[in-house]
Structures are given as structure tokens and as C-alpha cells.
Amino acid sequence: MASLRDIKSRIVSTRKMKQITKAMEMVAAAKLNRAQTKATAFVPYTEKIREVVSSIASGSEDEEVTHPMLQDRKEIKKTAYLVITSDRGLCGAYNSGLLRRTMSIINERHASADEYGIIVMGRVGRDFFRKRGVPIYQEIVGLHDQPDYSEIKNIASTTVEMFVDGIFDEIYIHYNHFISVITQQVTEQKLLPLTDMGGNDAEKTPKLDYIYEPNPEVILEQLLPHYAESLIYGALLDAKASEFGARMTAMQSATRNATDRIDELTLVYNRARQAAITQEINEIVGGAAALE
């Protein structure tokens, strides 16, 4: 049985750990609020670009505008997966659930590593794929908690270029979609080709008639890559909100567990202390009786 000093030491260390997890929970809550605000504010921008691109792509009744980024390729030789993870742990199943799902999809769809490639954001994902020998074409780590578009512009534009150049025939984004503080949903979104420009409310949204200068083809050539890059950035903002929600929940659970552990150790300590006092009293009474 542990001594009173050992039990007391465990109580002190657990209390210190509780202070740390509580502080991390509060920090995550503050970051979550900012991340949600940023992700929500970016949605109208993406929707407006999609609306314009969809209008241009649909063209007039006489002529439909086409672009390679809008058309499925006849033969899919290689697929890319852009996986968004965190740089740090202590966020519950945020990373493990996503990476397990990604590997499951890869194993189902591909027979060899020659058929796919990984583009990864986040140190946890980078280390995970490296250990398993998965081919990584691009990686970025050390992103800020509230990332700006300039931080991921290079990897986003290069990803789009690899599709345009034919290195990949299709690209998917894998990330955790934020639903609530306690719920994050592992999501697969097709990035390229852009075959679903209308979204879920395409039939409800009236088609707008734009006047283009110089012509729709030139505008699409400039706008489509930017739209694809904005989808990547939007997914990153959504994933960041999910990360902080998961971390807040994990630290909240850790704080609660620390409280329960402190109560258990305190009860054990009091019982052991009471037993020690009782033992001392018995020894004193026994000694006094022996002197009579």
C-alpha cells in the first residue's frame, strides 16, 4: 500500500495537471470562437465565386462554355488526397479518426501506391504518412491557429497546377467538418474536377445573367483555379474550428477526470490517515495498559 506521502504527492501532481488542462480548455474555447467567426465569414465569398463560375460554365442556351477543370477525365490513372490534420495532439480522436478513414478509403480504391498521392497539412498527418511509406507530394506544417490565405497559397496553387498538368486526374479533400463543439464529422469533398458547381441549392437559386469582358473562356481560365484554391482554404478554416472544438472537449474531459481522481485519492488519503491515527492510539493505550 502506498504511504501517506506518496498519496499526497499524487494529489498535488493531479491538481497541477488539472490546472493545466483547465487552462488549455479555456484557450481552446477562445480560439474556437475566432475560428468559427473566420470560417463563417468566408462562406459567402466562396458561394459567390461558385455562383459566378456556375453561371459562366452553364453559358447561354446556344452555347455551353467548357473547361478542362470542369470535366471528368475518361481514365483515372492517379488520385490525390489533400488531408488536413493538426500540428499538435491533445485533441481526442480528431486526427486518428480522420487518418483511419483516409487509409480505409485508399485501401478500398487503390491496389498500389502508384495510383495515388498525398498532399498533407499538419505535422500529425505528415508523420503518420511518413511512417507508413505513403507517397507525399506536398506538405505544410506550422500553420497559425487563425491561418491567412497567404500561408497556404503556394500549396493550394501547386495542388491545382498538378491537376491541370495531368499529374493527378482527380483530387479529394479529407478534413473534419465542424458541426458542434462535441461533434466533428470526417468529410471527403471532391476538389477537382469541379463537376458539381451548383451545390445543394442549385435548383432553388435563380440563374443570374452576367455581362463578361473580354469573354467567358478568359474569365474561367482565371477564376476556376482561384475558386479551387478557395475551396482548400475554406476546408482549412472549417478544420481549424473542428480542431479547437475537439481540443476543448478533450481538455474538458481531462479536467473532469482529474477532479474525479483527486476525489478518489483524497478519500484513500483520509482513510489511510485515519487508520494510522487509530493505530497510534491503540499503541498508546496498549502501552499505558502494560505499565499498570
d(CA 69, CA 162): 12
Residue type, 58: S
Given 91, 160, 191, 237, the catalytic residue: 91
Residue type, 202: A
Q: Does the annotation mark 273 as catalytic?
A: no
Which residues on adjacent β-strands are paired with residue 117? Answer: 80
Largest CA distance in the chain: 119
Q: CA dist 171 to 99, 164, 192, 285, 290, Å? A: 17, 11, 5, 82, 89
136 near 118, Cβ under 8 Å? yes
DSSP letters of 72-136?
Answer: --SS---EEEEEE--SS--STTHHHHHHHHHHHHHHHH-SSGGGEEEEEESHHHHHHHHHTT--E
Question: Strand 136-140 relative to strand 183-192: parallel, antiparallel, unpaired?
Answer: unpaired
Instruction: Report DSSP state, residue 165.
Output: T
Which grid cell is 15? 491538481
- Positions marked catalytic: 91
